[in-house]
Homo-oligomer: A and B are copies of this chain.
Amino acid sequence: MSTDTVQVRFLPHEKSVSVKKGTTLLRAAMEAGVHVNASCGGEGVCGKCRVNVEKGEVEAEPTSRIDEAGWAEGVRLACKTKAMGDVVVRVPVESSVDASVLNAAATPRHTAVIQQANLEELKEKGLFIPPVEKKYLELAPPNPQDNVCDASRLVNHLRMVHDEHRLELNLPVLRKLPEVMRKEDFKVTVTLARPVREDGRNSIINIQPGDTTAANYGLAIDIGTTTVYGQLVDQITGEVVAQHGDFNGQISYGEDVISRIVYAEKGNGLEKLSDVVVGTINGIIAKIVKDAGIDMDDISTMALAGNTTMTQLLLKINPAYLRRSPFVPAASLFPPLKAVDLGFAVGSHVTALIYPCVSSYVGGDIVAGVMGSDMYRTEELTLYIDLGTNAEIVIGNKDWMACAACSAGPAFEGGGIEHGMRAAKGAIEDFSIDPVTFEPMLMTIGNVRPRGICGSGLIVAVATMFELGLIDNQGKFNLGLDTPRIRKRRDVYEYVLAWAGETQINRDIVLTEIDIENLIRAKGAMYAGYTTLMSEVGMTMDMIERVILAGGFGSYIDLYSAMTLGLLPEMDPEKVTFVGNGSLMGAKMTVLTNRLRQDVVAVTHKMTNFELSETSSYMDNYVAALFLPHTDLNLFPRLKERLAEKKRILEQAQT
């Protein structure tokens, strides 16, 4: 354990948690699954989160909420006190409920393990095949007895001295030969692109005067509907040298893929949208090349991944039929293209590799995720989820894969939720409830008074309410509870997350039954997607051995909560990994090793697409998934046990 990690032990719960040095005690409590009342999101104004620091070094901001005597005794606001060493903290028990009840109140947080590409491991396994390599050559200058053409001089030398065969040259290199070869007296560096297939040829894609072998870079680009990300990757070390993200310039022409397609169908809309996204990408390239301080000519490779609409728009392929039944893309596989032909402001020798798309709504971003996460090489039956408004799911392993697009709706991104918001400052992102008083513990992004609730907060809040019996398995409030926070307003029952005075918006921030219903629909759509894919291949959900989460959002999700809701199948959280931007990861891996290009066609063909709307079992599975966690609680045995245990403890305490 690194010296930057400290242990926080909570009494009377006897729960310990390892956190980064400097973490607030409130955050540590949340991680440990210890409830501390807190309603201001961590801003320090509600004064409810008082704890006693019994031992260890902390840094606390002075506050008028605690008197001198209390301060002297070690009373602090958990939200404004940072653990700087191993500490012991006592949480005041405001009710008569004993420690066992407190322990039942919340589960500790568990986010997914972040999976990163390991180049060294690939090299050790022999799976690393450099896609481009530079060679420094000292050629013999021509003379009257040896006046073969420049190209032959180069190729002969590579053959004789470097044992390089099956070589080919392209026109941009031919154009450079006469001048470049003579610039430093026939001392040159050539860039060789390695073949993907064994019977392929070694392309000499660039020639530079002198020795430039130390500089060899590739570009990985993720083209999202909203955001475009680029990485400059060192092709020798595998490191990301620079990266940058920017909004997709197409946003001005429509927020989502459908409105982009509509725009593309008009006049020269297609050309316009292509030009705009190419402009965005060129801006990102210019920025990261400048940041890294490299020579543009040392970039040799470029890999791009995007959803099917983004891909067809980039390539100026009419996307009209993507949005019309029966939803037919123009192509699945795309040949390697000259980057300059697509308008990219890079060297004329750069090849642009475009990730293939499986169907109209399972695109190159998903194939890239499947490739980059190595899912396609595992034995374990894996569920890959790219979570968002348009979610995509892939189930399978190295032998088979089924995939589908899933219209989950915007709930995961805070859409359609009364006080829903994107994950920005003031968004409630974590949440717990006192099992007896039903008072909340709120944490917000930026530790400021709440403005609303974001996706990850919503998932935790609804899961917690369900586990503690505030709502039933249909998401309906238990009206028999003694708390002013559950109330009826405009004929809808709701729970008050924060009272007006504690918020930034001077209105009560609530979570309504309608919000919960929307979340259930969203998670139901996802779960029905998994179930349908599994049943289409004759399998059941309990066979899933591993989950990979992708998308900006996945790293914040509390896995226990997601499993409690039935958004994820129940399993050991250690078997859930997070790959972040899977699309970008796949693009990066393509830049680094030819292994992915060798496999990508077979993988794409292996990914059987199911149109959920055309799959008869989907609707039944959906209806069955419109419960917390599911009609069939036996699919979630650990939760079933936990719920029974909690019920027993709470009933014991309440009697």
Contacts and interface: CB of A to CB of B under 8 A. Distances in A.
Interface of A: 142-153, 168-171, 174-175, 177-179, 182, 199, 315-318, 320-321, 325-335, 337, 341, 357, 359-360, 611, 614
A199 B316 CA distance: 31
Contacts of A326: 142-144, 146-147
Nearest to A171: B337
6 contacts: A147-B360, A169-B331, A171-B334, A174-B331, A177-B331, A182-B321
Contact of A329 (B149, B321, B335): B149
Contact of A149 (B145, B316, B332): B332
B611 A331 contact: no
A143 B326 CA distance: 6
Copies per assembly: 2
Given A170-B335, A174-B330, 13 more contacts: A142-B328, A144-B326, A147-B327, A147-B359, A149-B329, A151-B330, A151-B331, A171-B335, A171-B337, A174-B334, A177-B331, A178-B318, A182-B321
A151 B331 CA distance: 5
Nearest to A152: B332
A171 B342 CA distance: 10
A335 B205 CA distance: 13
Contacts of A149: 328-332, 357, 359
A320 B330 CA distance: 46
A171 B332 contact: no
A296 to B, nearest CB: 21
A331 to B, nearest CB: 4
B178 A321 contact: yes
A392 B431 CA distance: 88
B335 A150 contact: no
A167 to B, nearest CB: 11
Given A179-B318, A321-B178, A332 B151 contact: yes
Contacts of A332: 148-149, 151-152
Given A175-B317, A317-B178, A150 B328 contact: yes
Q: Report the 7 A-B pairs with minimum CB-CB distance, sorted nearest first.
A: A151-B331, A147-B326, A149-B329, A144-B326, A178-B318, A149-B332, A177-B330
Contacts of A178: 317-318, 320-321, 328, 330
